[in-house]
A and B are shown apart, each in its own frame.
Chain A
Amino acid sequence: MEAASLSEVDAQASLDIDRTDRRVELLLGALASTILLLIVGMIVFVFLKALPSFTHNGLAWFGWGGSVDEQLMNIFNSPADPSDYVYHLRAFPLLYATALITGVSVVISIVFSALSGIFIVEFAPNRLRRTIEPVVKLLAAVPSVIYGLIGILVVVPWVADHLISEGRKESVAYVIQLDGTSILVGIFILTIMICPIMIAIIVDALRAVPEKWVEGAAALGVNRWRAMRTVSLRAIRPAIVAALVLATARALGEAIMLSMVAGSVGFSPNPLDGFTFLLEPARPLASTIVDNAEGLSVAPFGQTMYAFAAILLISSFFLSFAGWAARKSFSRYTLGAR
């Protein structure tokens, strides 16, 4: 038989190439889609597992009433018969602790990080700048258990010795024991933990502000601080939002460190106690899960833990979405800027 013509050979070759390309593309695409499957699976499974806890308590799940730790103990001690499972829970103290610790830490650290970022980029002497930048990047990578260790071995005893007098202890002894593990230490160390990430993002963003805007502000007779505040900080708003989202996500999910230093009691610190309010312990959702990890095999207890995880999941979704929406709204004024 006559050999196939050259163009037929070529056509066949390119068809083969197309086919392998197509196959590779499909393979890789399927692999990428497994991420989506994973997330959907995670949401579905966690919520399914959590459902009984929510349905048995209704909206009161988010409310308060009684001691959370007692309620958890009761759930753990449920009788073996599924129809007798105890689900009663009023999770407000845990939600309150999460919101309080996360919120205050994030607010303090965004202010601190913005000011530190401005210092590093604009006002720091050169040698100091060259030293502090790598150190900040390093601090961002330090494991949370090390922060927790320093917290529980250094800061907590210091607080117990210097800030908690006998009188103070007496004043709240009927409700709670003050032993140094407190929201004060928790917020303090959490702030230190999340600042390095924020500072790194802010410093990179400040450096990327176009020189021409900085020069333009200087040429108008605006001093360095004002120029930084009104032009640079404004220009890096998307980066600030990104830093906020990242830091809040880290703060929300911080389980180990807070379990070590903020106390292992599901207590709601009472602002009406004045300064003592800061010295009272609390335990956010993530720490509650970690502290109670051994009981996961008991059905209703495990389901309650998954309910906490479900709340954390919703919060982190909401956070990502809020960040995306905020960054969209900032793009209006930077049309064609770069």
Chain B
Amino acid sequence: MELKEEQSQNGSASAGSVPPLRRIVVESETVPIRVGDYAGPPDPNYGREPWQMAAGNDAEPVWIEERMRTEDLSIAYGDKRAVKDVSIEVNSGEVLALIGPSGCGKTTLLRSLNRLVELTPAAKRTGRIILDNQSVDEFDVTQLRSRVGMLFQQPNPFPMSIFDNVAYGLRERGSKKPRRKQLEPIVVDALERAGLWDEVSSNLNHPALALSGGQQQRLCIARSLAVSPEVLLLDEPCSALDPISTSIIEDTIVELKSEVAIVIVTHNLQQAARIGDRVAFMYLGDMVEQGAAGQVFGAPREERTQEYVGGGFG
């Protein structure tokens, strides 16, 4: 997969015309598309029916089902409001990319979905978050977090062996400790789905901290997958990694999206265009625009979105 950037012609900027957009060109092995040219139906009701199909590269149907949604969610740290009245949906079968400049509330929104924002002492939340038609306040926060997993910007494997890391979530809940024989198939499966199995299969007792940065992040993916979450929240997972690790992880994300609803916060617009199916643009706590990736990048409705996507600020 190659990535090319083109600058559009600068010349004809008459008053009222669209400012020059940086065209993001994605070429795949099968069909090259120009995201800037695709102005598909700007349908605000995109993605509602459970069996609306979006095609994989071999036109296989992928189910889209709502997993989580927020309703008028607001989060404030003391007096400062970090997230203002955001309503958003998270569906399995697709990747939701949250984009926006630093400090605009994307990470706060993400961390509220698994109630991790409660670890910060001054945080207050209003509005509802629904997981599978149940408000997240209704059940135990540990259960929520085992259904809604999270990956952090800095890979954070525990100071244990690879096996122990992946098996950690499985071992440390409930009173019965599963035996290693029971855990092994799950661990192996998780490592395979995370794309790490080939590299570590020789020795699962190797210390996790001896792995490279990209491998550690994939280990964290495997660790989150082992508890079979319904939703996976990714907080700029590739920002600390080199391009090769980044592309491996992006491939993994795309493969996982059919089983797990994925929300990814990213600074990297190219990344959002590569792997995002739906994109939500946040600015200073407001959800400015959300919709299909093609629509948000190609024909954004709001001016702020246009400016941001065009590289006007960041």
Contact = CB atoms under 8 A, between A and B. Distances in A.
Contacts of B224: 219-220
A231 B158 contact: yes
B209 A215 contact: no
B154 A212 contact: yes
B152 A215 contact: yes
Interface string A288-320: 000000000000000000000000000000000
B150 A219 contact: yes
B209 to A, nearest CB: 5
B172 A218 contact: no
B209 A337 contact: yes
B25 interface: no
Interface string B230-252: 00000000000000000000000
Contacts of A337: 159, 209
Given A219-B116, A221-B145, A333 B172 contact: no
**Size category of the binding interface on chain A:** 20 to 34
Interface string B140-170: 0011111101101010111111000000110
Interface in A226-256: 226-227, 230-231, 234-235
Contact of A334 (B146, B156, B159, B220): B159
Contact of A216 (B146, B152, B207): B152
Interface string B200-242: 0000000101100000000010011001000000000000000
A162 interface: no
A218 B146 CA distance: 9
Contacts of B144: 221
Contact of A336 (B150, B156, B210): B210
A215 B227 contact: no
A221 B210 contact: no
B59 interface: no
Contact of A333 (B146, B209, B227): B209
B168 A230 contact: yes
Contact of B156 (A216, A227, A230): A216
A335 B212 CA distance: 12
A275 interface: no
B88 to A, nearest CB: 20
A333 B145 contact: no
A223 interface: yes
B290 interface: no
B159 A222 contact: no
Given A230-B168, A335-B207, A220 B159 contact: no
B114 interface: yes
Contacts of A222: 142, 168-169, 172-173
A235 B209 CA distance: 13
A213 interface: yes
A126 B150 CA distance: 29
Contacts of A333: 159-161, 207, 209
B18 interface: no
A197 B299 CA distance: 65
A305 to B, nearest CB: 47
A118 to B, nearest CB: 16
A225 to B, nearest CB: 10
A138 to B, nearest CB: 28
A170 to B, nearest CB: 48
A213 B155 CA distance: 10
A210 B158 CA distance: 10
B55 interface: no
A127 interface: no
A31 B259 CA distance: 70
B1 interface: no
Contact of B142 (A215, A221, A235): A221
Nearest to B171: A230
A234 B146 contact: no
B182 to A, nearest CB: 18
B119 interface: yes
A332 interface: yes
The interface centre, meaning the residue of A218, A223, A227, A332 with most chain B CB atoms within 10 A of its CB, is A218
A228 B229 CA distance: 23
Contacts of A234: 158-160
Contacts of A218: 116, 119, 145
A214 to B, nearest CB: 8
A333 B114 CA distance: 29
Given A213-B156, A234-B160, A220 B207 contact: no
B160 A220 contact: no
Interface in A105-127: none
Given A333-B209, A335-B209, A336-B210, A221 B146 contact: yes
A251 B154 CA distance: 43
Contact of B145 (A219, A226, A231, A332): A219
A226 B171 CA distance: 10
Contacts of B171: 230
B138 to A, nearest CB: 16
Given A221-B142, A335-B210, 14 more contacts: A210-B156, A212-B152, A215-B152, A216-B220, A217-B158, A219-B116, A220-B168, A220-B172, A220-B227, A221-B143, A221-B146, A223-B173, A226-B172, A333-B207
8 contacts: A210-B156, A216-B152, A216-B156, A220-B146, A220-B224, A222-B169, A333-B160, A337-B159
Top 6 A-B residue pairs of the complex, sorted by shortest distance between their CB atoms = A221-B146, A221-B145, A212-B156, A219-B150, A220-B169, A216-B156
